[in-house]
Chain A
């Protein structure tokens, strides 16, 4: 294996098996709630569960093919969901509440 291949495998592996779970782990556990070893374990565990589950249901229900582009989009979305929730969750919730109050 040459260096380029190693870099490709490590980055591809991390993108599929680590980063989505890492993002979700921050949604479930705050910064200092768990130690870094637990964070790593949960990141891999959640990624291994979430990515195939998401792809399976998208393929099964909406016939979304398992292609490089589709999988990349799904993984990016899986990463963005907890990031948006953490960053803008409160703002979105307050906006929604405000809107509901106006309607009432």
Chain B
């Protein structure tokens, strides 16, 4: 007995010595004494995870019923709202690269009403916009959501709503305390703020639904599981892929658990999985049937999304636009250590739950760089957050006061980092540019908009409302890369005019203030008219037929007057 006490004391010293070292490191990083890039947190997390799984193996995790503890959820909600609202103080332009495409798609779906999916979607549209989110935005449009600003608020709202779902899933799989801790770290997670900053609307909504779906998996509540699971498929295909893999592995685990294949639960699980798949596929049939065979579309959906998101045209599968796997540890080190610890403890206890499977599957995709791996970091982070909730919970159960102090310290450090990043966050383009792009909308019905740099593609598409010619994206672009290069490098207006003639319609060429490298001499020919030239923003109208309708001529001259400020 004496031996055992000595041994457990030694274990405690080792555990807290490791954590103390880690806290010193975090403090040094926060005060900018050292750079986080000097350390390999992933290796330390695995080492700590193994050690903590051994030491915390026998922690009593029986859940005590506490009623008032859920009031603590107000803390992560307030934190999440504040951090996400800071970039919108004195700024009305949505954050990220994607808002323009979302604006375009949302309006596309409105215009298609009363049809639920517009029948005339272009191919890139079909690939980019799974109907789930846009059916909701169309329905909300009928109830007064008629400006993109409303949907921007809705996005902030959904991002905060994930706090509730994280809590619910954490509570069901680990404990109420674990749920609250996971929600707290979600609200100040730099990775999740990154997803918010990049305006990954579909992704955020699908993660919310996935959390609700795994909540129902735990309770074996099949009907709501079918509807939420199907809706994930209708909203975001990569999340559906992850959800499908979680469900599959969980099902396999159940098969191994029940030796009888006629077990009622197994049959129900199987039927539920089939129903989810069937309902999710059905969302893609009406709009896609013309262009693809259903099977090809479903099988190729993930890689299609990958290519579309990565903006690649070569057919090589890309990683998607987000932080690379190598950088994940530097954005998540506040909770990564305890997240990995939570995973190891679950493994040690043979508790193979969907949260753990979520973490393992995402980690494999991310670190083996399979496909879309950068974007799967968002999923990996959600699983790590939930497991961190469990890790902290076990630690606090093991030793309450030091455990709580460590939690408060890491939470404060993470909040500080998030507030700093949030206050430095700015939209990709400023209000002036959005205003000038909006001026192109509705000028001439039968015309194109054009951006000469991919950075403006979503914005010009969304805010001009016109078919947009942009390098390498959307299907209106008729040039290959070498033709674009010729266009960029040319200073001969005749050569450029000849190239643009293939579009056969007037083109409004937007040259934003971020484009400093272009020789604007190419726009000096007779086919070009300069309509806006102000503060580094230029808009040229190209038309070699000189067809200019009277009404639009008037509008354009007004535009010129307006842009000159007279």
* Chains A and B form a bound pair: yes
Q: B160-174 toward A: CB 8 Å interface, digit per residue (1/0)?
A: 010011011001000
The minimal Cβ–Cβ distance linking A89 to chain B, given in whole angstroms, is: 15
Q: Which residues of B contact A56 (CB under 8 A)?
A: 116, 131, 135, 234, 282-283
The stretch among B137-145, B391-399, B448-456 that forms the contact with chain A is B137-145
CA A50 to CA B138, docked complex, whole Å: 15
Pair B143/A46 contact, Cβ less than 8 Å: no
The minimal Cβ–Cβ distance linking A45 to chain B, given in whole angstroms, is: 3
Identify the closest chain A residue to B150 (Cβ): A9
Identify the closest chain B residue to A14 (Cβ): B143
Pair B114/A67 contact, Cβ less than 8 Å: yes
* Majority-rule SS of B interface residues: helix
Pair B227/A53 contact, Cβ less than 8 Å: yes
Q: Does B418 belong to the interface (CB within 8 Å)?
A: no
CA A49 to CA B161, docked complex, whole Å: 15
Pair A5/B164 contact, Cβ less than 8 Å: no
Identify the closest chain B residue to A56 (Cβ): B116
The minimal Cβ–Cβ distance linking A48 to chain B, given in whole angstroms, is: 6
Q: Does B529 belong to the interface (CB within 8 Å)?
A: no
Chain B contacts with A in 142-196, Cβ cutoff 8 A: 142-145, 149-150, 153-154, 161, 164-165, 167-168, 171, 176
Q: Does B215 belong to the interface (CB within 8 Å)?
A: yes
Identify the closest chain A residue to B110 (Cβ): A66
Q: Which residues of B contact A12 (CB under 8 A)?
A: 140, 143-145
Q: Does B286 belong to the interface (CB within 8 Å)?
A: yes
Q: Which residues of A contact B154 (CB under 8 A)?
A: 13
Pair B164/A44 contact, Cβ less than 8 Å: yes
Number of inter-chain CB pairs below 8 Å = 129
Q: Does B230 belong to the interface (CB within 8 Å)?
A: yes
The residue in A5, A44, A65 that gathers the most chain B C-beta atoms within 10 A of its C-beta is A44
Pair A60/B116 contact, Cβ less than 8 Å: yes
**Given A13-B143, A60-B286: A28 and B279 within 8 A (CB)?**
no
Identify the closest chain B residue to A69 (Cβ): B142
CA A52 to CA B134, docked complex, whole Å: 9
Q: Does A83 belong to the interface (CB within 8 Å)?
A: no
Q: Which residues of A contact B224 (CB under 8 A)?
A: 24, 28, 42, 45-46, 49
Chain B contacts with A in 65-115, Cβ cutoff 8 A: 67, 70, 73, 113-115
Pair B205/A48 contact, Cβ less than 8 Å: yes
Q: A16-41 toward B: CB 8 Å interface, digit per residue (1/0)?
A: 11000000100010000001111011
Q: B437-470 toward A: CB 8 Å interface, digit per residue (1/0)?
A: 0000000000000000000000000000000000
**Given A28-B224, A59-B115: A53 and B279 within 8 A (CB)?**
yes
- Chain A residues touching B, range: 35 or more
Chain B contacts with A in 259-274, Cβ cutoff 8 A: none
Q: B161 contacts which of A15, A44, A53 (Cβ < 8 Å)?
A: A44
Q: Which residues of A contact B208 (CB under 8 A)?
A: 44-45, 48
CA A53 to CA B135, docked complex, whole Å: 9
Q: Does A100 belong to the interface (CB within 8 Å)?
A: no
Q: Does B295 belong to the interface (CB within 8 Å)?
A: no
CA A88 to CA B340, docked complex, whole Å: 49
Pair A60/B282 contact, Cβ less than 8 Å: yes
Q: Which residues of A contact B132 (CB under 8 A)?
A: 52
CA A50 to CA B140, docked complex, whole Å: 14
Q: A41 contacts which of B140, B144, B212, B231 (Cβ < 8 Å)?
A: B212
Q: Which residues of B contact A44 (CB under 8 A)?
A: 161, 164, 208
The minimal Cβ–Cβ distance linking A18 to chain B, given in whole angstroms, is: 10
The minimal Cβ–Cβ distance linking A5 to chain B, given in whole angstroms, is: 7
Pair B227/A66 contact, Cβ less than 8 Å: no
Q: Which residues of A contact B70 (CB under 8 A)?
A: 35-37
**Given A37-B70, A59-B115, A60-B286: A53 and B140 within 8 A (CB)?**
no
The residue in B138, B164, B211 that gathers the most chain A C-beta atoms within 10 A of its C-beta is B164
Q: Which residues of B contact A91 (CB under 8 A)?
A: none
CA A48 to CA B154, docked complex, whole Å: 13
Q: B42-70 toward A: CB 8 Å interface, digit per residue (1/0)?
A: 00000000000000000000000001001
The residue in A59, A67, A70 that gathers the most chain B C-beta atoms within 10 A of its C-beta is A59
Q: Does B497 belong to the interface (CB within 8 Å)?
A: no
Q: Could you list 9 A-B pairs, sorted by A, with CB under 8 Å?
A: A9-B145, A15-B143, A37-B164, A44-B161, A49-B209, A49-B228, A56-B116, A59-B116, A67-B114
In the complex, given contacts A45-B208, A45-B212, A49-B230, what are 13 additional A-B residue pairs having Cβ atoms less than 8 angstroms apart? A13-B145, A35-B171, A37-B73, A37-B167, A38-B215, A41-B164, A41-B168, A45-B165, A45-B228, A52-B136, A53-B231, A56-B234, A65-B115
| Interface set of A (CB-CB < 8 Å, partner B) | 1, 5, 8-9, 12-13, 15-17, 24, 28, 35-38, 40-42, 44-46, 48-53, 55-57, 59-60, 65-68, 70-71
| Interface set of B (CB-CB < 8 Å, partner A) | 67, 70, 73, 113-116, 131-132, 135-136, 138-140, 142-145, 149-150, 153-154, 161, 164-165, 167-168, 171, 176, 205, 208-209, 211-212, 215, 221, 223-224, 227-228, 230-231, 234, 279, 282-283, 286
